[in-house]
Structure 1
Amino acid sequence: MATPRSRRVRERQRASHSMEAVLTESVALLDEAGAPALTFRALANRLGGGVASIYWYVSSKDELLDLATDHVVGAVLTDIERQPASQDPIEDLRAMATTLFDAIVQRPWLGTYFMRNTDLQTNALRLYERIGEQTRRLDLTPRQRFHAVSAIVGVVIGSAMDLAQEPPPEVRDGAVDRDEYLHRWAQTWRELDPVEFPFVHEIIDEFDGHDDADQFRAALDLTLAGLRLQAGR
């Protein structure tokens, strides 16, 4: 009769897949259906092994989520480090922020777990450092630098996750497209009392058919313009 220890040894011997394979398949499951799809059983089925073999690499789903997030952020960090530096740190911050934004739009789950645990997410911490390094090229106090990086990361993650939200049922089902859906809401806003809602009436045409990516760029521009003013450059 096999002892518990001998069973564990056999399971470990069966874990012929690598950590790279575990993370690659974890990311694939997250891309397909988000965090609920990432279970040890589903992962083991994709890797061709027993559930116990996953514990050879990670101790919990939370750890797996953090490591899968950092796996993707590593590629984002590589893209950022390949970008040529300019003479203007504000423009370099814009390029970094846009690269991270694009990655989160492609993978909405990424924003939820980004920098959740920097003990495990070493790539995320390095990315945070790279963004912070640009603020050190500006005449700012440590507090101002901290707030600047927090604001930039907040604009990126907030905008990307908003853009990546699941569309309303009628858009998702193809009954209407996004522009028609926005136009319907714009029409209801036009029926509001302009005395009670003067701002809404002023921006209705901007809302009707607006581009979410343009909104992100505008928010980033406002943030970076404020940073430039604060730094006196």
Structure 2
Amino acid sequence: MEAVLTAAVALLDEAGGSALTFRALATRLGTGVGTIYWYVSNKDELLDRATDHAIGGVLTAVEEQPDSDDPIADLRAMAITLFDAIVDRPWLSAYFMRNTDIQGNSLRLYEKLGQQTLRLDLTPRQRFHAVSAITGVVVGTAADLGVEVPQELLDGHVDRDAFLDRFAETWRSLDATDFPFVHQIADEFAEHDDRDQFIAALDLTLEGLRLQAESEPRNR
């Protein structure tokens, strides 16, 4: 099973979910398609097990991070670790937590995030919403960064800065009366760093969580 999942992850890393077929996997392993069916019953199960195999490395990294005195800071570190992993492997965003009956590592990672909220003065619903919001920011932002890259960037006809500045220049030319916000942030858009933008969104989410936890005590 280890060899099957390692090869499946390699195929996914190379070309995403469409590249992972039983025939391609059997070719990579130098075996017959029938052999794969000894380990998984269908492609959905294969994708879930491959996802969980990859998430195992994230879980290990998170478990190695020592707890601090601040659960919000610990949540932040865990979230960034998961984000970086999904950016490196964009296909993970489509399958992470899809089937926790199979994805034991994903469920344990979700649990690790949730355990930090047990250190905060929150209701069970607030804890559920908090972890949902954090994973949403992580997976959603990473998925956006993993969308298909425009061909002109792949071909090297234009670099990222020039590509973004093309749109920013259009925004700068808009009437500031009709588009005051877009007009004001055009320069920020042209120069933004994707990872910094993610961390800003994460910090806004976590600051809201901190304020909620520090508000007047509720009946819990």
Q: Following superposition of structure 1 onto structure 2, how do residues 103-122 of structure 1 map, counting pairs within 5 Å?
A: 103-122=85-104
Partner of 2:54: 72
For residues 184-213 of structure 1, the C-alpha deviation after alignment (integer angstroms, 9 at most, x for no partner) is 111111111111111101111111121111
Q: Following superposition of structure 1 onto structure 2, how do residues 21-170 of structure 1 map, counting pairs within 5 Å?
A: 21-170=3-152
Q: Aligned match of 1:175 in 157, 166, 172?
A: 157
Superposition misfits of 4+ residues, deviation over 4 angstroms: none
The alignment partner of 1:208 has SS state of helix
Alpha-carbon distance in structure 1 between the residues aligned to 2:19 and 2:147: 17
Amino acid at match of 1:27: V
Partner of 2:211: 229
Alpha-carbon distance in structure 1 between the residues aligned to 2:146 and 2:132: 21
Alpha-carbon distance in structure 2 between the residues aligned to 1:179 and 1:93: 32
Alpha-carbon distance in structure 2 between the residues aligned to 1:84 and 1:119: 28
Identity, % of aligned positions = 73
Partner of 2:201: 219
Alpha-carbon distance in structure 2 between the residues aligned to 1:201 and 1:176: 24
Alpha-carbon distance in structure 2 between the residues aligned to 1:55 and 1:118: 21
Partner of 1:15: none
Partner of 1:184: 166
Q: What is the CA-CA distance between 1:164 and the residue it aligns to?
A: 2.0
For residues 75-105 of structure 1, the C-alpha deviation after alignment (integer angstroms, 9 at most, x for no partner) is 1000000011100000000000000000000
Q: What is the CA-CA distance between 1:172 and the residue it aligns to?
A: 1.2
1:208 aligns to 2:190 (yes or no): yes
The two structures have a TM-score, normalised by structure 2, of 0.96
Range with bigger deviation, 45-54 or 93-102:
45-54
Range with bigger deviation, 160-169 or 130-139:
160-169
Alpha-carbon distance in structure 1 between the residues aligned to 2:183 and 2:110: 40
The alignment partner of 2:59 has SS state of helix
Alpha-carbon distance in structure 1 between the residues aligned to 2:13 and 2:157: 25
Amino acid at match of 2:210: R
Alpha-carbon distance in structure 2 between the residues aligned to 1:172 and 1:221: 32
Alpha-carbon distance in structure 1 between the residues aligned to 2:150 and 2:22: 31
Structure 2 unmatched runs, 5+ = 216-220
Alpha-carbon distance in structure 1 between the residues aligned to 2:141 and 2:107: 21
Structure 1 unmatched runs, 5+ = 1-18
Alpha-carbon distance in structure 2 between the residues aligned to 1:178 and 1:108: 19
The two structures have a TM-score, normalised by structure 1, of 0.91
Partner of 2:175: 193
CA RMSD of aligned residues (A): 0.8
Alpha-carbon distance in structure 2 between the residues aligned to 1:211 and 1:166: 18
Alpha-carbon distance in structure 2 between the residues aligned to 1:119 and 1:232: 35
